[in-house]
Amino acid sequence: MQKTIVSDTSCLIILEKIGQLELLQTLFGSILITSEVAKEFRSVIPAWISIQDPTDTNNEKVLRVNIDSGEASAIALALELDDCLLIMDDLKGRVLAEELGIRVTGTFGVIIEAKLAGHIASVKSLLEKIKMTNFRLSQDLEKKILTKSGEI
């Protein structure tokens, strides 16, 4: 059985900005987002993305004390699902999710996986596009990503 994929907003926004939102569908088939993430995304939601909100609103309320609403709702949903992978870029949210036992990756993890699976030819070209957006990418992180993807 395929694991369930839950995404926070940042991955959707970044991949859409560089014209690569479909990478998520290529890698995972379908993903889940919450209505809060959909609201933050502010774009048309493709048919392969389903919206599902967590049933336990108390978890979400507690999480909102430390992180933003989209991240809190995504973590709360991931807590309710078996064999879930959460896509989240925010460090504070990632750390919290991992402390709660949720497996986490980020946008760059998705891009590396796409490269290793043969779905994209070059990580470097996507990183160049990402650098043209408002997403911050240090030289050290870029080097790590290129190393993991086999491009260095």
4-108: CATH homologous superfamily? 5'-nuclease (3.40.50.1010)
Does the global pTM surpass 0.85?
yes
Looking at the chain, the whole-number percentage of residues with pLDDT higher than 70 is 99
Q: What pLDDT does 2 receive? A: 58
How far apart CA 76 and CA 109 sit, in angstroms, is 21
How is residue 94 written in tokens?
Answer: 């990632």
CB-CB neighbours of 114 under 10 Å: 19
Contact between 114 and 27 (Cβ < 8 Å): yes
Contact between 21 and 12 (Cβ < 8 Å): yes
| Domain layout of the chain by residue ranges | 4-108, 111-148
**Torsion of the alpha carbons at 105, 101, 46 and 126, rounded to the nearest 10:** 0
HSE-CB of 76 using CA atoms within 13 angstroms: 26
Q: What pLDDT does 1 receive? A: 41
pLDDT tens profile 74-123: 999 999 998 899 999 999 999 999 999 999 999 999 999 999 999 999 99
How is residue 114 written in tokens?
Answer: 């796409």
